[in-house]
Each structure stands twice: as C-alpha cells, then as structure tokens.
Structure 1
Amino acid sequence: MAQNKRGYTQFENPPHVSGVDQPPSYDASVPHGGLDVGVPVVVPVGPPYPPPTAFGNPMYGQGGSGYPPHPYPPAGPYITDPYSSGAYEQPLPYVAMIEPGHSDAPPDYENEQFDGSGLDNKAVRRLFIRKVFAVLSLQLAITCGFVAVFTFEPHVKLFVRKNIWTYWVGYMVFLVPYLVILCCGEIRRKHPWNLVCLSILTLAMSYMVGVISSFYNTDVVMMAIGITVVVCFTVIVFSLQTKYDFTSCYGVLFVCLIVMMFFGILCIFLYNRILDLIYSSLGALIFTCFLAVDTQLLLGNKNLSLNPEEYIFAALNLYLDIIHIFLYLLRIFGRSSS
C-alpha cells in the first residue's frame, strides 16, 4: 500500500474481491498487447486552456461544469458554432430575430428608395395632387386673362395682327424654359428655379394663345373655351375615379402623335378644308387621351406614376394638354364658321 501525490491511498496489488469480475489490464485492452515504446506518441496540442479545477471539477467533488463561465445569451433563436464542441452558442443576426412588420424592425434597405419617394403614402400623394391642381389653376387663370385681353380689346387685337413677329418671339421665349424643364431634372425639382421657369413658360404660352385667339371671332373663342372646360373637367374627373389604367396605353398614344405630325406636314403641302378638319379633330382626340393619361400619372396606383417631387412637370403636362385641346377646338370651329 502506498500514497500518491494527492494523499490518497493506492493499492499496489489490489486484493481480489470475490464475486466481482475485475476489469482487464491496460495491456490487454490494447489490440496489439501494449504500447510499443520505440514508437513515439504524437499528442495533439491545442490552444492554452485553463485547467478544469479553475472552474470546478465534478470529478473531485468541486462542483461546476469544468468550463469557463460565459455571459447569458440574449433571448431568441440560436445557432451552434460548427467549430466548437456545442458548449457555446451564438444568437442569430438581429434582423432574423424581429418580424418584418414589427415596429422595432430595422428599415428595409431594398425598398428604401421606393418608400422615400412617398409613392405608397396616401397623405403625400393627396398633397401632391392638390399642389399640381393649384399650380394648374393659376396657369389657366393667367392664360384666360391673356385671351380675354386679346379678344375683347380691339387695339391689342389690331397690334398683334400687324406685328406677327411678336408671336415667334413668344415662341422662342417659351421654348427655352420648356427644354430646361424637360431635360434638366435637378432644375425642375429645385425651388425656386422650377417656379421661375414655369412662370416664364406660362407667360410666353399665354401670349401665343392670345395672339392666335385674336384672329378668330369672339363668339368662336367663347364657344371653344366653353367646350374645352366641359371636356377637360369630364376627362379629369373620369380619370380620377375609374379603375381602368390609361397609363398602359401611353406608347400607343405616342405612336399616334407621331403619325399625326406627319399627317400635319402632308396637310401643309396638300391644303384642303376637309383634311384640315380631320387633322384638327384627330389632334383634339389624341390630346384628350393624353389628358386622361397625365391625370392618372398623379395617382400612383397605376402602371406608370410620377414622383411627388415632380409637381411642376405634372402641372406642365396637364397645362399643355388643355392648351392643345383648346387650340384644336378653336381651329375646328373657326374653319366651320368661315
């Protein structure tokens, strides 16, 4: 009998206990009958790790699990680290722990640009529509004022008839801000330059419409104004209420507009009263359809829609559609009465 280094008693030759089978010897448990002393044994060396006794060793009655303590993980689903023994677990990413519709969920960066434009916000969309129609009403009021002056004032009517070059000056003044608004997206969305360009464009267009109206009789101009108001009001209200998507026909209308332009060039060389009436009727019909399409571009729930920042561009489209309808109707009634 001898004592080991820890003070425990160890039997050099343990006595035989009757009725109990003794375990086989260590040499017998090895398949080759023992270890070959001449063959070196390679022991895998890992990273330094504290001994189990530092955290409690259940083999010696010290309690604990033998592993270093780690902070309690937050609540939620877990995944096991494949490179560990399973003792340590890592929580899932933060996004996976929260439902997408929850108030604490992080923003959806894939749709951040779409949501930032306000296309799904009904309050922003309603404000955008009110702003567009407010600008459009002001434009139409200015144009009606110019038409009234050029129609009811004989001195102004006589002046523009003798100086037709003023019409082409107004056309050049109109063309510059129109191209700026059409091609420069930053300018038409930047305040106050967008309003400045739209104001210059509206004044120039109003002057040109007034000059054209001065060449017709007063009753013809008033009839064209009245029918334009009825047609445009009906089309706008119908476009805002109907479920039919007119924006899907935008490409077809663009092709019809190109065909009408070539037909108008043909009417210049082959002047005929009947061809002129057909051309004017087609123009009024096509721009009435454009008015329906441009009205539905404001809603945001159709195939095509405008950004709420493009209220100047939207008001300009509606304004030009109404002006073209008025001019074509004026041309139809003027040719019919002459």
Structure 2
Amino acid sequence: MMTSKIDSPPPYEEALHHPKYDNFPYLPQHVSPLPPPPSYSPSPGYWGQGGVYPPASMCQGPGFPPSGMPTTIPTLSAGLPASNPGEMEDFLSTQWESTSVRHAFIRKVYLILSAQLAVTFSVVAVFTFVDPVRMFVISYPGIYWASFVVYFVVYCILVCCKEPRRRFPWNLVLLGVFTLALSYMAGAISSYYGTKAVFIAMGVTALVCIAVTVFCFQTKVDFTSCGGLLCIAAVLLMIIGIVTAIVLSFQYVPWLHMLYAAIGAIVYTLFLVYNTQLLIGNRELAISPEEYIYGALSLYVDIVHIFLFILQVSGAATE
C-alpha cells in the first residue's frame, strides 16, 4: 500500500518569495519590516532627542533624566514621584533655599556673638589690668547688683517676649544693653582674681568653645532631644550652688568651691552643645532663622558662664 507523501514546511525565504505555498495559514502574506532597534547614546540627555525609542514620557532611567530636568541631580528624594519633574524642581529649590537661609542665619549669629564676646573680654581686660578701675569696681559693689538687675530684666524680655526680640532695631538695642550689663558683671567678678587666673580662664574657655563647635558640626549624636536632662542638670546645679554658698559663708573650703565651679563649667558646656546644635538646625529641634537674636543670646550666656566657672577653678588653684 502506497502512502501519500507529507510535504514538509518550506523554508522561510522560499515561502516569502513564492507565496504559492498557501497550505500554511500561519504564514503572513505581506510582511512589514520590523522597527529598527534604538540607537545607543551615552549622552545624559539622549531621552529628549526626537525619533529615539522609547519616548521620554514613557521611561526614566537612573542617570538619564527626561528633557527639561537638570542633569546634575544624581538621585530622587524618597516620597517624591519621579514622573513629576515640576515637583522635583520645586522640592530641590526649596531644599537649596532652606540650606542657604540656614547658612546665612548661622553667619549672622556668629557675627553678633563675636561682637558681644569682643566687648565682654575687653571690659574684663580693663577691669583686670587697670588698677584704678579695678579698685573702683571693688569699692562700689552696688553697681554690680544694679547691672545684675538690668541683666535679669532684659534677659526675661528677650527670652519671654517674641515681639521685642524680632523687631529691628529694638532687638539689637536690648541685646546691646544686655551685653553691657553681663560684661560689667564678668569684669567685676574678674577684678577679684589675679591676672594669671584670668588668662588661664580665657584660654581654657576659648579651647572649650572651639572644641564644642567642631564637635557639633561633625557629630551625629543629637543633643537637642536631651532638653529634659539638661533642665534637671540646671536645677541640680542651682541646688548645689545654694548649698555651697551656705557652707562657704561659714568656712571657706577651697576644694568644695572648685568642685562646684567644675560642675557648673561642665553643665554649661553641655548647654553650649545643645544650643549650638539648635543653631545648626539638622537635628530633632532647631531655631527658626528669624530668631538670630535668641541664638546669639543663648550662646553668649553659655560662653560667659563657662568663663566665670573656669575662672573660679583657676583662681582657687592659683591661690
């Protein structure tokens, strides 16, 4: 018995040029050429060129932003849709403006602080090295208590009242009065100590301030979240100060005086760290850029108190 020969499928080229093989329905009669593959271009902006596959609106790869986006942005921020270039530009513009405003705020605060410290240590130098002035300050302690009252009142106004603290030029006037009052107090206290003790206190205070500033700009530890602990430390320092004053009023004990002064210097150094990180603004809490008077005031008070406490330690040590 003869069997019919089953024809095998023709090759593709033969079927393409000889469409007589119509017994294979899956073969298309009219074959259109396939689209060419996309040309590779290493340029970052090649997505925006015309005729390039795929279109810019359909694909965005890392390092290849669409047309209209800045090509210098390496990554996208978390939570911002990558398909919205307008929001990305607004976000980056806001971030840049915020950083520039913060830097200008820090420069302004440190400029004001430098002027305050220059006035204060000039007064301290005059009260320490000019003997007639030194004797006058020691002979009239009432001026010291008057300056203390001015210091306390102006401090309460600047800390508790937002309007005077932010209104120019009254904020600078109040800060100037406060600086003069505290400078007189620091100079009056320094007049009771020797020249060597004052020099040592100035040098140690400068080293502490530089070390704290460098530490705050480099560390990842957030001290702004420890405000409650610092308040407890301030209360304990006040209690220790009252007890020490009562004990020393009956009998002067040098080591007790040095211990209290050392604790006070440590506590105010921690306050300086806290207020410096508030100033920097990259932690949990931050000072508003409008509060440059408050920023300079807080740092200035911390530095002067560190100087006075270190002066007590050095003065007791050099006696």
TM-score over 0.5 for the pair: yes
Matched, 1:165 2:165: no
Residue matched to 2:183: 206
Give the whole-Å Cα distance in 2 for the aligned partners of 1:194 and 1:137. 17
Give the whole-Å Cα distance in 2 for the aligned partners of 1:179 and 1:99. 49
C-alpha distance after superposition, 1:205-258 (max 9, x if no partner): 111111111111111101110110011111111111211111112211110110
Query: Cα 1:132–1:119, aligned 2, differ >3 Å: closer, same or farther?
Result: farther
Within the candidate set 273, 289, 303, 1:292 is matched to 273
Query: Cα 1:220–1:104, aligned 2, differ >3 Å: closer, same or farther?
Result: closer
Mapped contact 1:119–1:307 kept (Cα < 8 A): no
1:315 CA displacement:
0.4
Residue pairs, 1:111-130, within 5 angstroms: 121-130=98-107
Secondary structure in 2 matching 1:121: helix
C-alpha distance after superposition, 1:184-214 (max 9, x if no partner): 0111011111101100000111111111111
Residue pairs, 1:49-128, within 5 angstroms: 102-103=85-86, 121-128=98-105
Give the whole-Å Cα distance in 2 for the aligned partners of 1:333 and 1:201. 26
Q: Which runs of 5+ in 1 are unaligned?
A: 1-97, 109-114
Give the whole-Å Cα distance in 1 for the aligned partners of 2:83 and 2:171. 39
Query: Cα 1:124–1:166, aligned 2, differ >3 Å: closer, same or farther?
Result: same
Query: Cα 1:104–1:329, aligned 2, differ >3 Å: closer, same or farther?
Result: closer
Residue matched to 2:229: 252
Matched, 1:332 2:313: yes
Residue matched to 2:284: 303
Secondary structure in 1 matching 2:86: coil
Residue matched to 1:181: 158
Give the whole-Å Cα distance in 2 for the aligned partners of 1:119 and 1:178. 34
Residue matched to 1:314: 295
1:100 CA displacement:
9.5
C-alpha distance after superposition, 1:299-335 (max 9, x if no partner): 2210110000000000000000000100000001111
2:116 maps to a residue whose letter is Q
Structure whose alpha-carbon radius of gyration is higher? 1
Give the whole-Å Cα distance in 2 for the aligned partners of 1:259 and 1:240. 28
Residue matched to 1:141: 118
Secondary structure in 2 matching 1:103: helix
Mapped contact 1:119–1:125 kept (Cα < 8 A): no
1:102 CA displacement:
4.7
Give the whole-Å Cα distance in 1 for the aligned partners of 2:180 and 2:130. 18
Query: Cα 1:99–1:159, aligned 2, differ >3 Å: closer, same or farther?
Result: same
C-alpha distance after superposition, 1:92-141 (max 9, x if no partner): xxxxxx99955389x99xxxxxx7xx997100000000000000000000
1:298 CA displacement:
1.3
Give the whole-Å Cα distance in 2 for the aligned partners of 1:185 and 1:298. 17
Q: Which runs of 5+ in 2 are unaligned?
A: 1-80
TM-score by length of 1: 0.65
C-alpha distance after superposition, 1:71-90 (max 9, x if no partner): xxxxxxxxxxxxxxxxxxxx
1:275 CA displacement:
2.1
Within the candidate set 175, 196, 199, 1:219 is matched to 196
Give the whole-Å Cα distance in 1 for the aligned partners of 2:318 and 2:83. 67
Matched, 1:131 2:102: no
Q: Which runs of 4+ in 1 moved over 3 A?
A: 98-102
Higher-helix-fraction structure: 2
Mapped contact 1:273–1:335 kept (Cα < 8 A): yes
TM-score by length of 2: 0.69
